[in-house]
Structure 1
Amino acid sequence: MISATSFRPALCGALAAALLLAGCASSPLPQWRDSDNAGYAPVTPAIPVTNTGVPAVAISTAAPTRAALVAAARAEWDFFGNQQIDMRHEPFSAPRLGLLEDEGEAVQRVAEYWHAVGKNLTGADCQQAWSAAFISWLMVSSNVAPQDFAPSETHFNYLSFLKDRQSRPSPQFVLRPPESEPLTPGDLICAPRGNNNATSIDEIRPGLAGHCDMVVEVHAEDGWAGVIGGNVFNSVSESLIPVDDQGRAQPIAQRPWLVVVKNLLP
């Protein structure tokens, strides 16, 4: 577990300067993709048809668990060099930098995430937002059944699927408002972005722009939680977000939290 006192301070200016040396991953930070990006084209939430031209995702043979999902997220964070973004204050800072999407082995690693949603793309395709592909890869590779989670390249597509799925028997994920739901490792925490003006779970629909991270640690007594997401400052990053003394996420300018996806897996 990472101690809140172990963060070494870093200025956003230094972070931006470092990324200016990183080829196509050098966009100004924070890198929020425009809502008219092809990755956010409206589609009906559904289980994607397998594209035989895309390599299969390696799927665990074990039953899916919350612990397995958290472990998978942490393993990818380790692979990318444990980049951390401290979102508990403005401007954001980066206590630790990591591997970027278009650097070295990261190029093919991002391709594996894209494979989970049937796309032949890599980390070199820097203009394609891959954060939803990352979450989908976590679910697919951890053996979450397609009837419980529909992989998609757009977060609000799978959120729409989960919203519909929770009204049917035995949902494994349910959507709850962040202001009333304490975070637990294995949950997803999601926010709109771009021109997405949704303010309630009822307004979730396919095609809206947004972002989700997986909760991996909660320290309510210290006022923060750690969430891991893909394509966060061009890497798999752990974001440090503020929570109240009950562990409920507190909204910030770049993350106006809309929904907590509670993980009901064992």
Structure 2
Amino acid sequence: MFLGIVLLLTGCAVQKQGQSPAISVAANITPSFDIPDIRERMLYLARQEWELFGRPEVNYDIEPPAVTYPSEATQGHETLPPFFSRVFMYWYTATDLPIIGYEGEVRPWSGAFIVWLARSAGVPESDLPSTVLHWDYIQHVIATASENRFVSHAINTYAPKPGDIICAPRGEAFIQSIHNYNDLRRGAYHCDLVVAQRPGELDVIGGNVLNTVSLAHIKLDGAGKVLPTKARPWMLAIEQRN
């Protein structure tokens, strides 16, 4: 009886029903792990999605560019149910517009993929706005560079590193009208996230590359600057500063 009264007074009566016990860490305890920062989370998420789509690699050195998969991999395609669910998630993170076009096609989702990476990693709307058009966030970064997490550079003036984004105009007529960084304007673009860097080469991952999330190897010059190609006439690098 006495023991029951002691327990009631010292323990059971202190914690209310349904209330979680308070857990605190002593001031002298050092965490045994590091919490990844935004850049690291974007890199992890990009590689995660690439793995889910079967680790496809796109080769821009052949005409037309083609995607190859490891022999044992399931080939991910945007219209197959397991993969369309991912595309659906990217899209509706970025917009409320319908993902299916007027002719029943899946609308281009590479911009939504970049936005999903950023938003899922913790990038605020003020640094990279939600949109399915690459130009919208490119224009935002150019306009807000002084206070933004991201800052834009002409592709021939900056050596990208993992966590940065590189962009190229798309469509033959539009490409012909964009001769350099100063010509950038509203139009069709493709952007990829840089996920690895080696001497002479970057690895980049992007969405909606031949209907999947693909990795590409991008050649660099001796100073680490991206070399544009016919298939990807890179014009812009978006540096992630933090």
Scaled by the length of structure 1, what TM-score is found?
0.69
State the one-letter code of the partner of 1:209.
A
CA-to-aligned-CA distance 1:147-169 (integer Å, 9 cap, x gap): 11112111111100110011x43
Matching of residues 80-229 of structure 1 within 5 Å: 80-96=53-69, 98-119=75-96, 121=98, 126-166=105-145, 168-169=146-147, 171-194=148-171, 195-196=173-174, 197-206=177-186, 208-220=187-199, 223-229=200-206
Distance 1:105 1:255 in 2: 29
Q: Contact 1:162–1:174 at 8 Å: present in 2 too?
A: yes
Distance 2:179 2:131 in 1: 22
Distance 1:212 1:154 in 2: 10
Match of 1:78 among 38, 47, 51: 51
Aligned residue in 2 for 1:245? 222
The alpha-carbon deviation at position 180 of structure 1 amounts to 2.1
Q: Contact 2:99–2:106 at 8 Å: present in 1 too?
A: no
The alpha-carbon deviation at position 118 of structure 1 amounts to 2.0
Q: Secondary structure at the residue paired with 2:195?
A: strand
Aligned residue in 2 for 1:68? 41
Distance 1:120 1:73 in 2: 23
Distance 2:37 2:79 in 1: 30
Q: Contact 1:217–1:227 at 8 Å: present in 2 too?
A: yes
Distance 1:165 1:83 in 2: 35
Name the Cα RMSD after superposition: 2.1
State the one-letter code of the partner of 1:192.
P
Q: Which of 1 and 2 has greater Rg? A: 2
| Identity within the alignment, % | 31
Q: Which runs of 5+ in 2 are unaligned?
A: 1-34
Q: How many residues align?
A: 199
Distance 1:123 1:80 in 2: 20
Q: Secondary structure at the residue paired with 2:87?
A: helix
Distance 1:63 1:145 in 2: 16
State the one-letter code of the partner of 1:219.
R
Scaled by the length of structure 2, what TM-score is found?
0.75
